């Protein structure tokens, strides 16, 4: 059999996996939504899957026992349903999906599940809080886009389809990125209520009223080189976490 590392479950045969112990299952979770005029609807799912696989590859090459589960392509998009072909998955549905995955993993004695989130509308902490009392499984979640200070890589990263996401997609899937001459400027209308603007009070954004082109953040300074540098840094950081988590038994989680 090939001696390439076992990393992505969807690409792995049972013959290679049946005697391969797994300590951490990594679940990439994206969304299906418009990303300005120049990026595809599957941007969040594609970015998150590539980041998950590369992070796991690095971790496995350094001795971690990690497997990447198939990517969930639908996220919480309740405030974007007026935009054609946005696909929403309600938080209650996400809870049911995570519960079923957790039940499968626990039966198979995989001790840890990490949800790698790539969409701002998804929030898994409350789901984890609800499920934790009913499972021996360790649940964790992280947003890859908050792992690093983006100002190290981008002049203005943007919130959605801006310089950061556009650079990343230019590097990961250049064939899916339209010329930036076709992109909108990602201008966003701010909230009229001060507390919402400052972020200490929160309400969902009505996307069609906030952004004319569905983007938030100007993509025009994006480059593939910036995307490559950011991808390398964020996957290295996540790999470090996976290595440490894989090596730490659940009873020894606290020092």
Instruction: Inform me whether the pLDDT recorded for 1 exceeds 60.
Output: no
pLDDT tens string 210-244: 999 999 999 999 999 999 999 999 999 999 999 99
In 60-188, at which residue ranges do the beta strands (DSSP E only) sit? 66-68, 112-117, 138-143
Average confidence (pLDDT) over 31-44: 98
pTM metric for this prediction: 0.96
In whole angstroms, what is the distance from residue 163 CA to residue 214 CA? 14
Fold classification of 9-252 (topology level)? Rossmann fold (3.40.50)
For the stretch 140-171, pLDDT in tens is 999 999 999 999 999 999 999 999 999 999 99
Give the end-to-end CA distance of the chain in Å, rounded to a whole number: 40
């Amino acid at each position: 059999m090939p001696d390439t590392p076992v990393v992505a479950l969807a690409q792995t045969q049972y013959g290679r996996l049946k005697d391969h112990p797994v300590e951490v299952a990594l679940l990439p979770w994206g969304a299906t939504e418009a990303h300005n005029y120049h990026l595809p609807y599957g941007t969040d799912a594609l970015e998150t899957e590539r980041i998950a696989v590369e992070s796991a590859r690095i971790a496995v090459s350094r001795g971690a026992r990690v497997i990447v589960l198939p990517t969930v392509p639908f996220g919480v998009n309740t405030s974007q349903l007026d935009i054609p072909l946005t696909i929403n998955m309600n938080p209650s549905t996400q809870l049911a999906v995570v519960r079923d995955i957790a039940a499968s993993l626990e039966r198979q004695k995989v001790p840890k599940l990490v949800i790698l989130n790539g969409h701002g509308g998804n929030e898994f902490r409350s789901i984890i809080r609800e499920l934790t009392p009913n499972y021996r499984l360790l649940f964790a979640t992280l947003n890859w886009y908050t792992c690093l200070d983006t100002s190290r890589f981008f002049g203005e990263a943007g919130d959605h389809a801006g310089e950061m996401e556009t650079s990343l997609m230019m590097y990961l899937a250049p064939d899916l990125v339209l010329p930036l001459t076709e992109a909108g400027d990602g201008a966003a209308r701010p909230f009229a209520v001060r507390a919402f603007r400052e972020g200490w009070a929160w309400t969902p954004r009505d996307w069609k009223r906030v952004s004319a082109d569905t983007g938030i953040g100007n993509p025009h300074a994006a480059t593939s080189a910036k995307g490559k540098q950011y991808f390398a840094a964020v996957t290295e950081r996540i790999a470090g976490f996976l290595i440490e988590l894989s090596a730490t038994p659940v009873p020894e989680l606290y020092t």
